[in-house]
Amino acid sequence: MAEKRVYFFGEGKADGNATMKQLLGGKGANLAEMSSLGVPVPPGFTIGTNVCKEYYESGGKWPKGLEEEVKKNLAKLEKAMGKKFGDPKDPLLVSVRSGAAVSMPGMMDTVLNLGLNDDVVEGIIELTDNPRFAYDIYRRFIDMFGDVVMGCSHEYFEEAIAGVKKKAKVKLDADLTADHLKEVVDKYKTVYRKHVGDMFPQAAIDQLKKSVDAVFHSWNIPRAIRYRELNNITGLLGTAVNVQAMVFGNMGDDSGTGVCFTRNPSTGEKKFYGEFLMNAQGEDVVAGIRTPLDLSKLKKVNAKMYKELTNYMSKLEKHYKDMQDIEFTIQQGKLYILQTRNGKRTAAAAIKCAVDMVNERLIPKKEAVKRVEPNQLDQLLHPHFDEKATRKPITKGLPASPGAAVGQAVFTADEAEQWHKKGKPVILTRIETSPEDIGGMDAAEGILTARGGMTSHAAVVARGMGKCCVAGADDINIDYKAKKFTCNGTTIKQGDWLSIDGTTGEIMKGQLPTVEAKTTGDFGKFMKICDTMRKLGIRTNADTPEDAQRARDLGAEGIGLCRTEHMFFEGDRIWAVREMILAADSYADMLNELEQAESKAQQKQIEKKYAETKKQFEGSLKKLLPYQRKDFEGIYKAMKNLPVTIRLLDPPLHEFLPNDTKAQQEMAKRLGVSKNVVRDKVNQLHEFNPMLGHRGCRLAVTYPAIYRMQARAIIEAALNLKKNRINVIPEIMIPLAGEARELKFVKDEIVDEIEQVFKRRKAKVKYLIGTMIEVPRAALTADEIAEDAQFFSFGTNDLTQMTMGFSRDDAGRFLGEYVSKGIYDADPFQQLDQVGVGQLVKEAADLGRKARKGLKIGICGEHGGDPSSIDFCHDIGLDYVSCSPFRVPIARLASAQSAVKDR
């Protein structure tokens, strides 16, 4: 006998169940499941995906016997509903929907109210005494059937109804009378005939057959095929077809419709919540013509229905073990549950539900941690704009650092600082930011840039500061001279108010009201549940004692990345840094000059000159030493008893020099050298591709004294705190190593310096020396690298840049298109590219651990705060992830989810 093709559901029974997704599609299986549970879903039947396969195998024909099977089920359905398909006296109307095992875009949309025709519509008028309703569903059906099933564009129907509205001098569809709608029905039939080339089918069974064909057809349209290819969806037979009875809530006062939640989706409170309207359709609720009533009122209106409904609500929540969002309709005193699904909720509600459900023993803890979307937590940690406020964005940039900020536009970092001192809130607006702008960024409420991607300087620094930032808003044309910008016709001058949303990327003119962040008591409880689950350690990227403290408060277990370059910019120290750079002349330069020397005397002169320059160079470094030492003491204190990983100087030296002529002149004056000396140095240090330039430990190969100074400050600070019984284990991190001998060279210099400190101070502290793995070559030779590294930290920002060949400051311009064309699934600077970059990370971790037992391995790129990337880190067995302070809770949750997924 042939396989069963059609599966009935309804009246508390069903041929299928939730496990039969492959055969019934997701929708069909779910309807069967609910029906079996005794939930009164409108009955119907599902044509299996196996039929779709047969349909294609036979070249687009219904397989033999299918029609009979459909008709048999239709009869069953008629019986269940007590109505007849196509019968004007008491017509059964149905909906037809596609439904594959995996939902995919491009598949056929729903067709509602199938079974209507010229006679049936009259029957309905008689039954409901509501001609407007009858003509309205008829004209909608013709439109939908024409568009979705027969391919006659919805636009043509729109034109037709627009004509009627114009003639009737009304603006809204809702203002059309029954007569108008009757006219619309006629026009629609004409449109149909014209574009389809055939009369609108009057036979209900014809309508059904054509719709089923259309569903099958939509399985193999190019968009669906492409989607399956891109998402590696294979092994599916085809799509199922769901045919289900229509029910109406507007068939009198014993009818009604509504939406309800088993708990409050805004707060999570365990209390039924919802709205309904009697004698109404779902649309009426949406359209806002009538105000729906609170669910509790249903008790008064119809106590029986209320009791029935709340019973099903409890049953469904218990069955699905989650808060349910339920649509229901009451048709002439009979309750139908149209749909139930896990309810969408705010972050606060998600957390409360999870914590409550654990307490209610509805779900185990490991299930609870799955119930909150990690990225949602951002809502709780940053202020946001009041949802009630109307937004009129003038443009949209990248949502670079979440939160909401309101302030007056300023265009330089200096002005930001000055205005801030005067108590004015500002939005620092720049084409792009550079390390020179740190002070102004810190003073600003929010940062807005016209250029740069999600990992541009502005974005990274802002996230580190927990400050709202919209980056790369490229519609903005900034005119620094005129102190203003224009954007799609709007002009914003210095001092004008701006509201920027770092969560959506939107930029609004004026002042929008904001709502402060709150972390409820449940937040802490939930986080504790996460902590008992997770295996990954969570550290933070923090450069200041304040950031460190904030991260610690949010649960960080140490610092995974303390960048030292930001410290070079603060206050007066930048002058010592600049003095140092002017004095910096490399050994290589000297060798060149020596080679060209014509006499021993000249050689000696050159050597002398270099000795002097070196002295000057090291003198400037000595000025920086006490600053650095104090920086580290502050951070150690905030992170008392927790590990602190300090990355030695990373950016190229030119980042510390001013670019514009005026600032260069100021620098020359202050350092007592000629303008040309400064200009020449800036020119000399200019790089075509600074990302691949003279930076990271390459600086220390040329100028070992820089890292020596930093190592000394790190160790002396630790010794100072040790005296006060504060324990610290500094982890000194060498950036950008690409070769084992390079790492060894730099490490040897650092160790030598540290040994000198120990000797001088007659005291010791424990410390580690490790490296960032961020150059592909380092990953490829990680076994060799591990010989001189006590820990690895993957710098996945740079590793992504180099492995994929994308500059994160430039790629924003085309990466969007890469994602929209399906070439990459996501922006690789936001989600770790597991196939390419991830492969290197995994191999390097394996190689490193093979070469050094117990090698500690973490990740400190931006990916350390991204759930999908954290999941990858968990899978490959890293020890910890490190992320910006505000993402620490997200990382705690995400890593708990990874651990739970494992078991």
**Binding region for a copy of itself (CB under 8 A) out of 360-368, 527-535, 661-669, 800-808:** 800-808
Pattern 557-596, a copy of itself, x by CB under 8 A: -----------------------------xxx--xx--xx
- Residue 500's DSSP bridge partners are 405, 507
Q: Which of 764, 766, 769 is nearest to 748 (CA)?
A: 769
**Is 530 among the catalytic positions?**
no
We find the least distance from the C-beta atom of residue 807 to a copy of itself, in angstroms, to be: 4
Q: How far is CA 839 from CA 230, 507, 833, 850, in A?
A: 20, 38, 9, 16
The two three-digit tokens of residue 457, written as one number: 């300087």
Q: Is 807 in the site for a copy of itself (CB under 8 A)?
A: yes
Options 50, 255, 645, 803; binder of a copy of itself; rule CB under 8 A: 803
Contact set for a copy of itself, span 467-496 (CB under 8 A): 474, 488
CA 150 to chain centroid, in Å, comes to 38
Instruction: Return the exposure string of 732-771: e unless at least 16 CB atoms fall within 10 Å of the residue's CB, then b.
Output: bbbbbbbebebbbbbbebbeebbeebeeeeeeebebebbb
From 40, 738, 867, 885, residue interacting with a copy of itself (rule: CB under 8 A): 738
Asked if 404 is part of the footprint of a copy of itself (rule: CB under 8 A), the reply reads no
Tokens of 358: 């654990």
Q: Does 752 bind a copy of itself (CB under 8 A)?
A: no
In the numeric block, the tokens 């037979």 are attached to 237
Question: Which is nearer to a copy of itself, 60 or 816 (by Cβ)?
Answer: 816
Min separation Cβ 163 and a copy of itself, Å: 17
61 Cβ contact partners less than 8 Å away, ≥ 6 residues apart: 55
| Nearest distance, CB of residue 164 and a copy of itself, angstroms | 19
Q: How far is the CB of 508 from a copy of itself (least distance, A)?
A: 13
- 648 lines the binding site for a copy of itself (CB under 8 A): no
* Shortest Å, Cβ 169 to a copy of itself: 22
Binds a copy of itself (CB under 8 A): choice among 12, 524, 816, 877? 816
Does position 102 interact with a copy of itself (CB under 8 A)? The reply is no
Give the nearest distance from C-beta 636 to a copy of itself in angstroms.
Answer: 31
**Closest distance to a copy of itself from the beta carbon of 804 (Å):** 5
**What mask, x for binding a copy of itself by CB under 8 A, covers residues 831 to 850?**
--x-xxx-xx----------
The answer to the question of residue 804 lying near a copy of itself (CB under 8 A) is yes
Identified binder of a copy of itself from the candidate list 60, 364, 524, 822, rule CB under 8 A: 822
Structure tokens at 17: 């169940």
Of 162, 221, 225, 230, the one binding a copy of itself (CB under 8 A) is 230
Q: Helix-strand-coil percent breakdown of the chain, rounded to 5?
A: 50, 15, 35
Using rule CB under 8 A, residue 777 touches a copy of itself: yes
Contact status: 813 vs a copy of itself (CB under 8 A): yes
- Options 562, 860, 873, 883, the catalytic residue: 860
Asked whether position 171 contacts a copy of itself by CB under 8 A, the answer is no
Choice from 689, 762, 854, 903 touching a copy of itself (CB under 8 A): 689
* Binding-site member from 798, 827, 871, 879 for a copy of itself (CB under 8 A): 798
Distance CA 539, CA 559 (A): 5
- 427-466: which residues touch a copy of itself (CB under 8 A)? none
Cα separation, 205 vs 202, whole angstroms: 9
Alpha-carbon span 561 to 644, nearest angstrom? 8
Among 396, 525, 535, 614, binds a copy of itself (CB under 8 A): 396
* 608 binding a copy of itself? (CB under 8 A): no
**Considering the complex, what minimum distance in angstroms separates the CB of residue 193 from a copy of itself?**
26
Among 327, 373, 618, 810, contact with a copy of itself (rule: CB under 8 A): 810
Token representation of residue 14? 């069903």
Q: Is 692 in the site for a copy of itself (CB under 8 A)?
A: yes
SS3 label, residue 42: coil
Q: State the minimum distance, in angstroms, from the CB of residue 453 to a copy of itself.
A: 10
CA 219 vs CA 214, 269, 279, 896: distances in Å: 9, 42, 37, 38
| Min separation Cβ 685 and a copy of itself, Å | 9
Beta pairing class for 240-245 and 426-430: unpaired
Position 395 contacts a copy of itself (CB under 8 A): yes
Per-residue mark of binding to a copy of itself, 182-221 (x: CB under 8 A): ----------------------------------------
List binders of a copy of itself among 611-630 (CB under 8 A).
none
Rounded Cα gap, residues 504 and 391, in angstroms: 12
Name the one range near a copy of itself by CB under 8 A: 28-36, 601-609, 755-763, 769-777. Answer: 769-777
For the chain, what is the largest distance between any 2 Cα atoms, rounded to a whole number of angstroms?
A: 117
Q: What is the DSSP letter of 495?
A: T
Exposure on the CB side of residue 741, measured as CA atoms within 13 A = 0
Residue 522 binds a copy of itself (CB under 8 A)? no
**Quick check: 650 binds a copy of itself (CB under 8 A)?**
no
DSSP strand pairing (506-509 vs 393-396): antiparallel
Least distance to a copy of itself, CB of residue 702, Å: 6
Chain-centre distance for alpha carbon 757: 47
Query: d(Cα 891, Cα 898) in Å, to the nearest integer?
Result: 10
Q: How far is the C-alpha of 793 from the C-alpha of 541, rounded, in Å? A: 12
Instruction: Establish if 824 lies at the interface with a copy of itself (CB under 8 A).
Output: yes
SS3 at position 215: helix
Determine phi and psi for 853, rounding to 5 degrees. Answer: -60, 135
Residue corresponding to tokens 């105000």: 291
Give the shortest CB-607-to-a copy of itself separation in angstroms. 15
Counting contacts by CB under 8 A, is residue 802 touching a copy of itself?
A: yes
Q: Does 225 bind a copy of itself (CB under 8 A)?
A: no
Select from 291, 388, 817, 903 the one that contacts a copy of itself (CB under 8 A). Answer: 817
* Alpha helix positions (H), 115-177: 118-128, 131-144, 154-168
Q: Could you give the C-alpha distances from 12 to 4, 35, 44, 92, 260, in angstroms and in order?
A: 20, 5, 12, 20, 21
Q: Rounded to whole angstroms, how far apart are CA atoms 134 and 136?
A: 5
Nearest to a copy of itself of 801, 882 (CB atom) = 801
860 is catalytic: yes
| Residue 701 in contact with a copy of itself, rule: CB under 8 A | yes
Whole-angstrom Cα distance, residue 185 to residue 116? 12
Interaction between residue 698 and a copy of itself (CB under 8 A) = yes
b/e map 549-579, b = 16+ CB within 10 Å: bbbbebbbbbbbbbbbbbbbbeeebbebbbb
Give the whole-angstrom CA distance, residue 594 versus residue 600. 9
With contacts defined by CB under 8 A, how many residues of the chain interact with a copy of itself? 64
Residue 478 CB, shortest distance to a copy of itself, in Å, is 11
Q: CA distances (Å), 805 to each of 600, 698, 802, 869, in order?
A: 48, 20, 5, 19
Q: How far apart are CA 29 and CA 18, in angstroms?
A: 5
List the catalytic residue out of 180, 457, 566, 654: 457
Question: Which stretch in 308-316, 640-648, 747-755, 822-830 sits in contact with a copy of itself by CB under 8 A?
Answer: 822-830
**Which residue numbers are catalytic?**
457, 860
Catalog residues that contact a copy of itself under the rule CB under 8 A: 230, 393, 395-396, 474, 488, 586-588, 591-592, 595-596, 684, 687-694, 698, 701-702, 736, 738-739, 741-742, 745, 774-777, 780-781, 798, 801-807, 809-811, 813-814, 816-818, 820-824, 833, 835-837, 839-840
